[in-house]
Structure 1
Amino acid sequence: MITSITPLRPDECAPVPDAGLGALATERGNLPLESVDVTAELSGLVAGVKVTQGFRNPFDVALEATYIFPLPDRAAVTAFRMEADGRVVEGVLKERGQARADYDQAVAEGRRAAIAEEDRPDVFTIRVGNIVPGERVTVHLTLDQPLPYEDGAATFRFPLVVAPRYIPGVPLDGEQAGDGWAPDTDAVPDASRITPPVLLPGFPNPVRLSLAATIDAAGLELQEVRSSLHTVLQEGDTVRLQPGERLDRDFILRLSFGASSSLALVPDAEGEEGTFALTVVPPQAPPTATPKDVVLVLDRSGSMSGWKMVAARRAAARIIDTLTGSDRFAVLSFDTVVERPERLDGGLVEASDRNRYRAVEHLARLEARGGTEMLDPLREAAAMLGDPSRDRVLVLVTDGQVGNESQIIKEVGGRLVGVRVHTVGIDRAVNAGFLSRLSGLGGGRCELVESEDRLDEAMEHIHRRIGSPVVTELSLKGDGLDPVAGETGRLGSIYPGVPLTVHGRYRGAASGAVVLHGTDASGHSWERRIAGTRVDNPAVRSIWARARLRDLEDRYAAGDHSVEEKILSTSLRYGVLCRFTAFVAIDSRVVAEGGPAHRVVQPVELPSGWETGPAAPMAAAPMAWMSPPAGGPPAAPMAAPRPAAPGGAARASFQPAAFDWMEQERPADPFEETERFFPRADGPVAGSTVPVPPPHMVTPYPSSPVPAPAGQDALRAQLAEELRRLRAAESLRSADRLRYLADLGNRLTALATSIGGHPELEALARDLTAPEPAADVDTLWRLAVHTLETLTDGGQEKKRRPFWKR
């Protein structure tokens, strides 16, 4: 049989502008985030920033929107506000678990609410609940951030996208911490909170972006303003982003002006204490050639493909070329495995011409591939740098796109004592938070390279840092000023061209000076006295608090959990958001009966410059994995499936869609339909690409009789499994939750009978299976959770749960 194919006329198949394979266009749109507006006031070396996010509900049911987004890693978030329907609700900073409980309760009661949480120093999550159909809700964040200064230029960097991160480890059972595409693992127990779904390339602009920065040199002579990755328009003292830019790379401004040593004193409102900001411009000193041991660790994983791999090879080669014959060095390149140059694999070798040539030749052959298993090469590097008689330097060249930052800090932090750690971050959406934390451990520096054009300038900075510092062994004392012991940031060392900036707290009047002591490159004593000046700049206080919290959080990540109360009290006292607290804004008005019927995790852009081929951290899936039923809403653009963990079988994974038709039009029997659309499996299937159900679609146990457990341990284990499934089904609609509770009551009745009676189980079962329950579904649900927690010692377990799951 021969069938002729008639081509369509051009007017019958006009393409959608900017649309790519899998992109959709609807009259109402299908993504809740409408706009992101950033306004910054740059004053000297401090920036005050306001971020406004606009959400709109394009659906015909109440919506909860979740947005995972970045902020500058050193920024202090000090205020949060929600606006909707002419009402303004100010956010309140609370302990994270309490803030979540208040938010969940308000949303369940049908009230508008919003919550802002920090998951990494530079990754945050906002949830906005009960956005009614057609309504717009805006949330506002206020933050202060310092501007790093080097070689006569300050840098204002504002990140705009959370890049996909490599998630190592074995997937964890039980409830997930968030709704991201990656499952929580033993190495990254909150992976599902930092992995938002990613839009397919070519999707039309989903978010309207505006960004404006007003520059005040604050008495300094401003010489030049440069924008690195974006085209900007300048109107007087204000620099604006041109319309139409996407949220796919960092916004970077560099401001050239001179700086001088200074000490700013900012008293608290009460006047009994205050905060100081010390800036010390480095002295002029001739370069030194102290013999040193240098280990260069180069990331060649899949996310480094394209221009990043080229820049990383060039950077590493430049570093090796700066070494002298008195130095020793080693080169480690890594992805899933660690490799060394041929004939240079015996540890540290002399930096002779021949050895440096072999190393550069090895680097020239490297291509991006595999996963980002960063922990092993850092362990090896730390083991090589064990000779305290030499100047020890570790240089890491990477984009930093890993999720197990805390695991790495914990494992290698103690091994890097006495080692200067320098990090070179190469990406247009770099993981600056992690790289800054890592370099801070060893008193080193973090250099960020966002393009090949900036590489030469950045390498000049790196070359000086690998050389010996100008001043080391720093200590600080007050002269007429009383610094608070233990509340001063890390002093580190002073490098050529890099002013030292230190924030701390003081007691008493805002007067006096500080004296900085150290040892210069020739081994002589060095001293500098800086007189204080009283200023009215509250940002100094919040910036200090954020730096203090980051130091404490690093101690917590390294295993010192005794600092948890200190972290919490510092965050609440100074009103600065951290990982142990959250801002929550709750409206008093009820607008949606029964809470949101639809939930959406906002997809994010693939970072600019990332490739979508096999070397990228995720595959470029051109189509959604399944189609909606006939007559149903259109499928959403979906993120690509997560690749298998290296060295193991592929794990089936589900990535949240921007518009989940199954969530909006749930069939009459959701558990039966779940079985149909999500094939069940008892465990991971090697090579499988079939999605596993998200938590809200977990199939419950059947209502068949429950076998009697043998002993109390077995009973607790069975009840713990019931508790896990109960939590996983928490997002079901009210009618489905009632049905689930009735089924649970029947199973508990059978279980109590099988063990010869159990008063607590029997009482709970009666409440859950009553023909007409006396309590509403939320009250019954909380009762079931509380009872099962108590019977499984879950109440004690809950107190010890990680803070990101509280």
Structure 2
Amino acid sequence: MKPGEYTPLPDAGLGALRTGKGNLPLESVEVDARITALTSGVEVAQGFCNPYDVPLEATYIFPLPDRAAVTAFRMEADDRVVEGVLKERGQARQDYDQAIAEGRRAAIAEEERPDVFTMRVGNIIPGERVTVRLTLSQPLPYEDGAATFRFPLVVAPRYIPGTPLDDRSAGDGVAPDTDAVPDASRITPPVLLPGFPDPVRLSLTARVDPAGLDLREMRSSLHVVTQEEGVVRLQPGERLDRDFVLRLDFTASSSLTLVPDRERTAGGEDEHGPGQDGTDGEGTFTLTVLPPAPDDQATRRPRDVALLLDRSGSMTGWKMVAARRAAARIVDTLTSADRFAVLSFDTVVERPETLDAGLVPATDRNRYRAVEHLARLEARGGTEMLQPMEQALGLLGDSGRERVLVLVTDGQVGNEDQILERLGTRLSAVRVHTVGVDRAVNAGFLGRLAGLGSGRCELVESEDRLDEAMEHIHRRIGSPLVTGLSLKPDLLEVLPGTVTHLGSLYSGVPLTVSGRFRGRARGAITVHGLGADGKPWERRLEGTPAEGPARAIWARAHLRRLEDRYAIGDHHLEREIVDTSLRHGVLCRFTAFVAVDTRVVAEGGASHRVVQPVEIPSGWDMSGPPIPMMAAAPVAYTTAAAPAIFSVGRQNDLIAGGPMPVPGGLAGPVGATDAGPFPAPEAMAPRGRLFARSAAAKMAPPAPPVPHSVDLVRPQLVEELARLHARASLPGPERLRYLADLGSRMAALATYVGGENQLSALARELSACERPDADVDALWLRAVTVLTELTGGHGGVPGGPDESGGPGPGAKDRPRGPRPSFWKRSS
């Protein structure tokens, strides 16, 4: 920038500047939500501008709700509207890059995590404004009389473990890719310096239609809002530094809605497909079942509980206080019949000195010692989550008790897929509950963990919310009211393999299940299960034709399930994931929305590139000790603390001040150039480049080939078979209860491995445990026979997975293939 083109802002952060046209590409974010009963449709409009005198490519790493289905994409610029097209991700990137090279406007939206996305808008000409619009649908979680609409507004910094890779980074973020997080550079946007003036105009409106439900109250927990006739608006001046959370007190009811597919007409409008009039079209059903009243007199099985508390640097401030309180409350719920262990972790794992001998009885003395230990914990270090979770699963072992793992964290890690790949099948045999403490929590990852363990995910965005959230967790840690759930359709043809995870019924938490059907939108579904008293339980619901985004919401949940199976090693699902995404028009990790204009507006070739920095999440203390975001070979971060530092091509010299170290990846905005976002250290030193990466680390070898699908769950099957042998002498009622639980676990494992016939058949057979006339001896023998066949009697195969879930002997000798694309995130 030339002298006179900017004005220093001495009170707005060190080195901050203001220009007449602004200094950051993202100008505005507008969120328009329409909440109807327990679903919402949202349109997000992101406005970009080019304050420079050359064409601009802007990159913005932003969050969306992790359960949201992104179904439409549009680019608007200079009286032109370009509709986005959903394509396989590699093809979409190729189309985008070609358009940019030819001087045409283009935009692309890509999913990095279930709740982290990247938007790139290229060839924005000087002085021009471009708006991109995303359309999405999402379900609202409902529990204990309240539904929650949560819309995230900032991607918080995440801890990146592993050794940096020495090839070119996959993205323009501030952290290098590592062997544990091969796409770290795509999920780590630069962070604005403290005190930087509000750079983005935020507008958020939520229009609420109860749709027949009894809406008693609406309340926003983190933002100041206005309410008028069912419309909630964010007050002007709010920043994108925390999630928007709106809670709605509803009276829910059991229901079965049947929504026929809608087909796109030539005119661009939607109309019902053939399923509406009774031909062989398809549709989506959504089943909501309220739990039965809890029986306080029912005997609860003793529990083994492993409590994991994240004490890493990102938990500084109110989050550490809330996490300690949450963990202490969980310890207080234990009874003398339970056993427990408490593990706190950052880069190391610690346990109370007097309670370090495995699981200990939950006596008054032991619970007091655990709470005393928790009270002394302070935030420090990095977030090495894999090791403590492995230790916790090892402690829970194979006891005959109810096994529960509770994780209290903000979830800000980048190696989610590595954790799922290592632990996914083992988590399915343990009840996993997650408590996310943050105002910009990694909800997607915590939800996936809880889903694998059929548990609960509670998000705590403030200390005021803690007590309410912990009441929910206390009830959920207890035994479920109904287990071994199965569906029996009547006059409704449910398509095999389309029903989402059934789970169990818990007090105060309605069960929501969806799936696909073929034919007329009519019929009923009966839900079967086994009550806490050991007696059969069922609920029949008649279907009601309806309209709404049920198909998109189901498709997103189905894709999440496929993606989780891919993450734990089932890589042959890639084609199915892509086909499902394209067929239903819902964005996923292997597809992308791309909008390409036909008009040439620039010369093409290399353009000025800017990565939009994000806010420091509210409640994060960035003025204290550095927060490590890397485990080894960290990035050498420096900054001039001058937000208006973007310049053309390689002229990226610092404008104001001198380089200053920045703790934990804190930085001003980044302007990557045509040389790539991470030049060599020797190239950056003379010009004061903002970021450099270590080149000392070597490429980690690719993963071995994926084994046959049943190998993915063989260690779990070995454990299940051993437990069956150990429990053969239990009384008949207890054996029936155990077989019912086993049936639900087999159904979950069958889902993860793609509907393995023997596992699915065994799960169906064990559903007979719900009936009073069930033959326990015959069912027990059948379970032993099937598991013996699937494990070869012992579960070991040459070169196959070992009982710990590792690669097994001989794995290192297998041939290794090329490293997959960065969006196929298995290193």
Normalised TM-score (structure 2): 0.77
Aligned residue number for residue 138 of structure 1:
131
Aligned residue number for residue 592 of structure 2:
582
- Please tell me whether residue 178 in structure 1 is matched to residue 178 in structure 2: no
Q: 3-state DSSP class of the match of 1:222?
A: coil
Query: CA–CA distance in 1 between the matches of 2:70 and 2:657?
Result: 33
- Please tell me whether residue 167 in structure 1 is matched to residue 160 in structure 2: yes
Instruction: Describe how 1:329-344 pairs up with structure 2 within 5 A.
Output: 329-344=340-355
**Where does structure 2 lack aligned partners over 5 or more consecutive residues?**
1-6, 262-272, 276-280, 630-635, 696-815
Instruction: Describe how 1:757-796 pairs up with structure 2 within 5 A.
Output: none
Query: CA–CA distance in 2 between the matches of 1:628 and 1:541?
Result: 44
By how many angstroms is 1:15 displaced?
Answer: 8.7
- Please tell me whether residue 551 in structure 1 is matched to residue 561 in structure 2: yes
Cα gap change, 1:799/1:294 in structure 2, threshold over 3 Å: closer, same or farther? closer
Aligned residue number for residue 200 of structure 1:
193
Contact 1:200 1:639 in 2 (8 A): no
Aligned residue number for residue 579 of structure 2:
569
Q: 1:666-709 CA deviation, whole Å, 9 max, x = no partner?
A: xxxxx9x99564369xxxxxxxx9966589xx9xxxxxxxxxxx
- Please tell me whether residue 276 in structure 1 is matched to residue 285 in structure 2: yes
Name the aligned partner's letter for residue 283 of structure 2.
G
Alignment match of 2:430 (pick from 419, 441, 446):
419
Query: CA–CA distance in 1 between the matches of 2:527 and 2:659?
Result: 55
Contact 1:38 1:52 in 2 (8 A): yes
By how many angstroms is 1:28 displaced?
Answer: 2.4
Contact 1:344 1:355 in 2 (8 A): yes
Query: CA–CA distance in 1 between the matches of 2:127 and 2:658?
Result: 21
- Please tell me whether residue 360 in structure 1 is matched to residue 371 in structure 2: yes
Aligned residue number for residue 416 of structure 2:
405
Query: CA–CA distance in 1 between the matches of 2:626 and 2:118?
Result: 28
By how many angstroms is 1:285 displaced?
Answer: 1.5
Contact 2:637 2:690 in 1 (8 A): no
Aligned residue number for residue 609 of structure 1:
619
Q: 1:494-553 CA deviation, whole Å, 9 max, x = no partner?
A: 11000001111112211111111111111111111111100021x100000000000000
Query: CA–CA distance in 2 between the matches of 1:654 and 1:169?
Result: 20
Cα gap change, 1:54/1:694 in structure 2, threshold over 3 Å: closer, same or farther? farther
By how many angstroms is 1:384 displaced?
Answer: 1.2
Query: CA–CA distance in 2 between the matches of 1:428 and 1:510?
Result: 41
By how many angstroms is 1:23 displaced?
Answer: 2.2
Contact 1:103 1:114 in 2 (8 A): yes
Cα gap change, 1:571/1:588 in structure 2, threshold over 3 Å: closer, same or farther? same
Q: 1:9-42 CA deviation, whole Å, 9 max, x = no partner?
A: xxxxx99486122322222221000000000000
Query: CA–CA distance in 2 between the matches of 1:433 and 1:182?
Result: 20
Query: CA–CA distance in 2 between the matches of 1:691 and 1:462?
Result: 44
Contact 2:8 2:17 in 1 (8 A): no
Query: CA–CA distance in 2 between the matches of 1:281 and 1:797?
Result: 49
Instruction: Describe how 1:239-278 pairs up with structure 2 within 5 A.
Output: 239-268=232-261, 269-271=273-275, 272-278=281-287
Taking only aligned residues, the RMSD between alpha carbons, in angstroms, comes to: 2.9
By how many angstroms is 1:238 displaced?
Answer: 0.6
Aligned residue number for residue 805 of structure 2:
none
By how many angstroms is 1:75 displaced?
Answer: 0.1
- Please tell me whether residue 328 in structure 1 is matched to residue 335 in structure 2: no
Contact 1:197 1:638 in 2 (8 A): no
Cα gap change, 1:591/1:631 in structure 2, threshold over 3 Å: closer, same or farther? closer
Aligned residue number for residue 477 of structure 1:
488
- Please tell me whether residue 228 in structure 1 is matched to residue 246 in structure 2: no
By how many angstroms is 1:203 displaced?
Answer: 0.3
Name the aligned partner's letter for residue 30 of structure 2.
D
Contact 1:65 1:127 in 2 (8 A): yes
Cα gap change, 1:311/1:497 in structure 2, threshold over 3 Å: closer, same or farther? same
Query: CA–CA distance in 1 between the matches of 2:693 and 2:25?
Result: 20
Query: CA–CA distance in 1 between the matches of 2:260 and 2:656?
Result: 56
By how many angstroms is 1:658 displaced?
Answer: 3.7
Contact 1:115 1:128 in 2 (8 A): yes
- Please tell me whether residue 438 in structure 1 is matched to residue 445 in structure 2: no
Name the aligned partner's letter for residue 562 of structure 1.
H
Q: 3-state DSSP class of the match of 1:343?
A: helix
By how many angstroms is 1:414 displaced?
Answer: 1.6
Name the aligned partner's letter for residue 492 of structure 2.
L
Q: 1:381-437 CA deviation, whole Å, 9 max, x = no partner?
A: 111112341101000000000000000011111222321000000000000000000
By how many angstroms is 1:221 displaced?
Answer: 1.1
Q: 1:737-779 CA deviation, whole Å, 9 max, x = no partner?
A: xxxxxxxxxxxxxxxxxxxxxxxxxxxxxxxxxxxxxxxxxxx
Query: CA–CA distance in 2 between the matches of 1:28 and 1:638?
Result: 26
Name the aligned partner's letter for residue 155 of structure 2.
V
Query: CA–CA distance in 1 between the matches of 2:317 and 2:681?
Result: 41
Name the aligned partner's letter for residue 447 of structure 2.
S
By how many angstroms is 1:481 displaced?
Answer: 1.1
Alignment match of 1:106 (pick from 96, 99, 102):
99
- Please tell me whether residue 61 in structure 1 is matched to residue 81 in structure 2: no
- Please tell me whether residue 86 in structure 1 is matched to residue 79 in structure 2: yes
Aligned residue number for residue 295 of structure 2:
286
Name the aligned partner's letter for residue 112 of structure 1.
R
Larger radius of gyration: 1
Q: 3-state DSSP class of the match of 2:355?
A: coil
By how many angstroms is 1:799 displaced?
Answer: 9.4
Cα gap change, 1:18/1:123 in structure 2, threshold over 3 Å: closer, same or farther? farther
Contact 1:24 1:636 in 2 (8 A): no
Query: CA–CA distance in 1 between the matches of 2:46 and 2:693?
Result: 27
- Moved >6 Å (runs of 4+): 618-622, 625-633, 636-640, 653-656, 796-799
Cα gap change, 1:641/1:225 in structure 2, threshold over 3 Å: closer, same or farther? same
Contact 2:33 2:42 in 1 (8 A): yes
**After the TM superposition, which of the residue ranges 592-601 and 579-588 deviates more from structure 2?**
592-601
Identity %: 69
Name the aligned partner's letter for residue 128 of structure 2.
E
Aligned residue number for residue 524 of structure 2:
513
Query: CA–CA distance in 2 between the matches of 1:241 and 1:482?
Result: 44
Aligned residue number for residue 142 of structure 2:
149
Contact 2:652 2:671 in 1 (8 A): no
Query: CA–CA distance in 1 between the matches of 2:242 and 2:660?
Result: 18
Query: CA–CA distance in 1 between the matches of 2:174 and 2:368?
Result: 43
Normalised TM-score (structure 1): 0.79
Query: CA–CA distance in 1 between the matches of 2:529 and 2:661?
Result: 53
Q: How many residues align?
A: 670
Contact 2:482 2:537 in 1 (8 A): yes
By how many angstroms is 1:595 displaced?
Answer: 3.6
Name the aligned partner's letter for residue 582 of structure 1.
A
By how many angstroms is 1:237 displaced?
Answer: 1.4
Q: 3-state DSSP class of the match of 2:574?
A: helix
Name the aligned partner's letter for residue 445 of structure 1.
R
Query: CA–CA distance in 2 between the matches of 1:798 and 1:425?
Result: 36
- Please tell me whether residue 500 in structure 1 is matched to residue 539 in structure 2: no
Contact 2:640 2:655 in 1 (8 A): no
Q: 1:57-87 CA deviation, whole Å, 9 max, x = no partner?
A: 0000000000000000000000000000000
Q: 1:321-355 CA deviation, whole Å, 9 max, x = no partner?
A: 01000000000000000000011101100000000
Query: CA–CA distance in 1 between the matches of 2:542 and 2:64?
Result: 34
Aligned residue number for residue 783 of structure 2:
none
Contact 2:221 2:245 in 1 (8 A): yes
Contact 1:47 1:145 in 2 (8 A): yes
By how many angstroms is 1:440 displaced?
Answer: 0.2
Cα gap change, 1:676/1:79 in structure 2, threshold over 3 Å: closer, same or farther? closer
Query: CA–CA distance in 1 between the matches of 2:455 and 2:652?
Result: 60
Contact 2:386 2:419 in 1 (8 A): yes
By how many angstroms is 1:490 displaced?
Answer: 0.4
By how many angstroms is 1:286 displaced?
Answer: 1.8
Instruction: Describe how 1:298-317 pairs up with structure 2 within 5 A.
Output: 298-317=309-328
Query: CA–CA distance in 2 between the matches of 1:433 and 1:462?
Result: 18
Query: CA–CA distance in 2 between the matches of 1:624 and 1:557?
Result: 38
By how many angstroms is 1:273 displaced?
Answer: 1.2
Cα gap change, 1:169/1:399 in structure 2, threshold over 3 Å: closer, same or farther? same
